Amino acid sequence: MAELHIIGRISSAKDFKQPRLLCKWSFHAGSGWKILDGCEEGQTQESCDLYTNEPVWDHPIDLYYTTQTLQNSPKLLLQIFHRDAHGRILFGSYGVCNIPLSPGLHFIKCHTWKPIGNWKDRLRDKFLGITLQLKSPSVLVNSLDRFELLTESMGTVKIELHILARNFEKYGCHM
């Protein structure tokens, strides 16, 4: 079986309007991919940078997958939350990004977005901070039901990943 190591970190966020951000992350992979070691989901610290407005999380990721297939390779789901002026933690945005399979160091920029509904939802978002959320974030992974959504763009999350592969060549896969 081929083995894949994903070692790196969720580094930072930029271009968000809110200063104090945190991120919930989880990896999703198809049934052919088995996780042997490492944590597949987690939550970063809440961070702020008063000068550059690029909060740093530096959250370590260290995953060890083994696989028999290339289909449904791992994806990283991100949910960004922020703390508002009243100390509440509110939902901010969603992002999803593919994990590159080619070995080496990759700097990934994941652009994020949030759902906005009709004018009533937008008013509630503006004045109460209640953003619409998806019923289950796994909708992000499938690409079928996205057309129904109306969304707005938010900031970017920077991710830094080292990919180590083993035995893929043995099965004739070149990455």
Partner 1 sequence: MSAEGEFFLSIAGSIEHGEFYDVNNAYCKYGFHFGPEWSVIAGIEEGLTQMCKCSNDPRNLAVWNFPLEITFKSTNPHGWPQLIISVYGLDTFGHDVIRGYGVCHLPLETGHHEKRVSVYVPESSSAWQRFAAWLTGRRPELIDPAILATGGGRELTRMRVEGIVTVTFNVVLKDFFKLGYNNGEQRRKQRDLS
Structure tokens at 97: 């990004």
At its nearest, how many Å lie between partner 1 and the CB of residue 159? 13
In angstroms and rounded to an integer, the radius of gyration of the C-alpha atoms of the chain is: 18
Helices (H), 53-118: none
Nearer to partner 1, 152 or 169 (CB): 169
Nearer to partner 1, 26 or 72 (CB): 26
Structure tokens at 140: 């992000």
Residue 71 C-alpha from the chain's centroid: 19
Q: Dihedral angle at the C-alpha atoms of 103, 159, 150, 17, nearest 10 degrees?
A: -160
Tell me the CA end-to-end span of the chain in Å, nearest whole number. 15
Nearer to partner 1, 36 or 130 (CB): 36
At its nearest, how many Å lie between partner 1 and the CB of residue 158? 11
Nearer to partner 1, 18 or 47 (CB): 47
Question: Is residue 87 exposed (0-12), middle (13-18) or buried (19+ Cβ within 10 Å)?
Answer: exposed
Interaction site with partner 1 (CB under 8 A)? 5, 7-9, 12, 20, 22, 36-39, 42-52, 54-56, 58-62, 64, 102-105, 162-169
Nearer to partner 1, 53 or 151 (CB): 53
At its nearest, how many Å lie between partner 1 and the CB of residue 121? 28
At its nearest, how many Å lie between partner 1 and the CB of residue 73? 16
At its nearest, how many Å lie between partner 1 and the CB of residue 167? 6
